[in-house]
Structure 1
Amino acid sequence: MKQIRDFAAGRIRAESRDGVGLLVIDNPERKNAVTAAMWRAIPDAVHWLCGEAGARAIVLSGAGERDFSAGADISEFPIVRKDTATARLYEADNSAAFTAVREARVPVIAAIRGICYGGGFGLAAACDLRIADDTAAFAVPAARLGLAYPADAVQDFARSLGDQMARKVLYTGAAMRAAELLARGFLLDVTAPDTLDDRVMLLAETIATNAPLSVQASKLALRAVAEVDDDLLREAEVVGASTFDSADYAEGRRAFAEKRRPAFTGE
């Protein structure tokens, strides 16, 4: 069953169908720049997709055929980032959006085309997997604007890009092409523009057909290792152990014996 819900007056769109959730940054006339209201809406959209909408994998993309996201909407900065006090409030909303993507119960895949700058790059870095087409360009222009990037998002860059590349990205503000980030391991794959959507959806659908508890346990364990978090590791162990008493584990064994595709329910 298809479910659709709009957030931030339709600038953040969420849709779920057959276990795959779509999270769309919808501001194409400004290269999908993210306004303050859109930052605040992203956690609600992610939580809706993972909860009520029943998504088992989420695809994050920009609306239209040109850009993923140019990052934060700079036209708002004279109001929402005019000084330290307002910037702290604004960046708390940034951080909540990055956290929602990073800590989503299900894997989040970024489908990247065109501009992927600043906060857009940060959202992509918070995702589990990233696939781009060969038009994609990446940059963090914070140093050229005279502002600091949120510290938790810097951690996402360090984890996804590696130490040296993260330093280059943040210190220089220079733009990079998809091929370079593929070579560095930030991207899983680079495709032609007309095959990006199909490639991403195939990956999302493959994840969505697998046992949700198994995928959740794997994501928690990977996060625990990346964040060096013993509490998270113990949570992953609890979820992992629960799979052996699950209906899905029984279904997986039956399907293997009967040589058919399993029908997992997440229970």
Structure 2
Amino acid sequence: MKRTHDFASGRIRVASQAGTGLLLIDNPERKNAVTAAMWRAIPDAVHWLCNEGEARVIVMMGAGSKDFSAGADISEFPTVRKDTATARLYESENSKAFAAIRNARVPVIAAIRGICYGGGFGLAAASDLRIAAEGAAFAVPAARLGLAYPADAMQDFIQSLGAQLARKALYTGAPMGADELFARGFLLEVTAPDALEPAALTLAETIAGNAPLSVQASKLAIRATGQQDEDLMREAEVIGAATFDSADYAEGRAAFAQKRRPQFTGR
């Protein structure tokens, strides 16, 4: 059964079916720019998908057929980002949104078409896997706007782009194409425009069909290793060890012996 929910007056929409969750950035008249209300809603949307939606994997996309996201909605800046005090409050919501994607207990796949700029690029960088359509364009225009991004968001750019390309993106603000970012390893795949959503959903369905506890343990271990976080490493070791007592481990072994497809429950 498909389950759906809306946040931020419908600007952030979620749906979940058969273990695959969808997070839609829905502001196409402004190239899916993210308003302050939308930034605040993203952690709630991820929480809903992982819990009420029972998603085993999340696909994040921009609404419509043109753009992933132009980043933060600049039209709000004279109010919500007008000085240091307001910017700190605003950027704390940015950071919570990036962290919600980065730290979601299930993998997040960003399916990117068209413009992927600024905070939209940040959301993609925080994702586990990224697929883009031909012609997608990426940029971090902070230096051209005279502002700085939250320092904790830099970890996503560095880990996904590599240190040198992250520096180039941040220092120059120059756009980059999908082919370049595929060659640099930022993108898993570049597809024809009409093949983007099917490719993302096929990848999501493959992940959703695997043992959820195993996938979650792998994601946590990857995070712990990437961040060199000893507390996370210990948590990953505990969760990884617990998979050997799970019903899914018994099911996986039985299915392998019986040469059938396993039916995992996440228990």
TM-score, with normalisation over the residues of structure 1? Answer: 1.00
1:83-102 aligned at under 5 Å gives the runs: 83-102=83-102
Q: Supply the distance in 2 between the matched residues of 1:135 and 1:239 (Cα, whole angstroms).
A: 40
User: Which residue number in structure 2 is paired with residue 77 of structure 1?
Assistant: 77
Q: Supply the distance in 2 between the matched residues of 1:82 and 1:197 (Cα, whole angstroms).
A: 37
Code of the residue aligned with 1:86 in structure 2: it is T
User: Which residue number in structure 2 is paired with residue 246 of structure 1?
Assistant: 246
1:212-223 aligned at under 5 Å gives the runs: 212-223=212-223
Which string of whole-angstrom CA distances, capped at 9 and with x for unpartnered residues, describes residues 63-98 of structure 1? 000000000000000000000000000000000000
1:101-116 aligned at under 5 Å gives the runs: 101-116=101-116
User: Which residue number in structure 2 is paired with residue 209 of structure 1?
Assistant: 209
Code of the residue aligned with 1:189 in structure 2: it is E
User: Which residue number in structure 2 is paired with residue 16 of structure 1?
Assistant: 16
SS of the residue corresponding to residue 125 of structure 2 reads helix
User: Which residue number in structure 2 is paired with residue 138 of structure 1?
Assistant: 138
User: Which residue number in structure 2 is paired with residue 118 of structure 1?
Assistant: 118
Code of the residue aligned with 2:16 in structure 1: it is S
User: Which residue number in structure 1 is paired with residue 174 of structure 2?
Assistant: 174
Code of the residue aligned with 1:93 in structure 2: it is E
Code of the residue aligned with 2:244 in structure 1: it is F
Shift of 1:135: 1.8
Q: Supply the distance in 1 between the matched residues of 2:192 and 2:173 (Cα, whole angstroms).
A: 26
Shift of 1:155: 1.2
User: Which residue number in structure 1 is paired with residue 230 of structure 2?
Assistant: 230
Shift of 1:152: 1.2
Q: Supply the distance in 2 between the matched residues of 1:191 and 1:151 (Cα, whole angstroms).
A: 32
Q: Supply the distance in 2 between the matched residues of 1:52 and 1:236 (Cα, whole angstroms).
A: 24
Q: Supply the distance in 2 between the matched residues of 1:135 and 1:9 (Cα, whole angstroms).
A: 30
SS of the residue corresponding to residue 4 of structure 1 reads strand
Q: Supply the distance in 1 between the matched residues of 2:133 and 2:142 (Cα, whole angstroms).
A: 24
Q: Supply the distance in 1 between the matched residues of 2:238 and 2:193 (Cα, whole angstroms).
A: 41
SS of the residue corresponding to residue 9 of structure 1 reads helix
Shift of 1:52: 1.2
Code of the residue aligned with 2:79 in structure 1: it is I
Q: Supply the distance in 2 between the matched residues of 1:90 and 1:243 (Cα, whole angstroms).
A: 39
Q: Supply the distance in 2 between the matched residues of 1:253 and 1:158 (Cα, whole angstroms).
A: 38
**Runs ≥4 in structure 1, deviation > 6 angstroms?**
none
In the alignment, is residue 33 of structure 1 matched against residue 49 of structure 2? no
Q: Supply the distance in 1 between the matched residues of 2:151 and 2:61 (Cα, whole angstroms).
A: 24
User: Which residue number in structure 2 is paired with residue 43 of structure 1?
Assistant: 43
Shift of 1:239: 0.6
In the alignment, is residue 6 of structure 1 matched against residue 10 of structure 2? no
User: Which residue number in structure 2 is paired with residue 61 of structure 1?
Assistant: 61
Which string of whole-angstrom CA distances, capped at 9 and with x for unpartnered residues, describes residues 38-82 of structure 1? 000000000000011100000000000000000000000000000
Number of residue pairs the alignment of both structures matches = 267
Q: Supply the distance in 1 between the matched residues of 2:107 and 2:148 (Cα, whole angstroms).
A: 28
Which string of whole-angstrom CA distances, capped at 9 and with x for unpartnered residues, describes residues 220-243 of structure 1? 000001101011011111111111
SS of the residue corresponding to residue 240 of structure 1 reads helix
Q: Supply the distance in 1 between the matched residues of 2:201 and 2:70 (Cα, whole angstroms).
A: 23
Q: Supply the distance in 2 between the matched residues of 1:225 and 1:258 (Cα, whole angstroms).
A: 35
SS of the residue corresponding to residue 76 of structure 2 reads helix
Shift of 1:23: 0.1
Which string of whole-angstrom CA distances, capped at 9 and with x for unpartnered residues, describes residues 231-258 of structure 1? 1011111111111110000100111111
Code of the residue aligned with 2:40 in structure 1: it is R
Shift of 1:215: 0.3
Q: Supply the distance in 2 between the matched residues of 1:215 and 1:10 (Cα, whole angstroms).
A: 30
Ranges in structure 1 where 5+ consecutive residues have no aligned partner: none
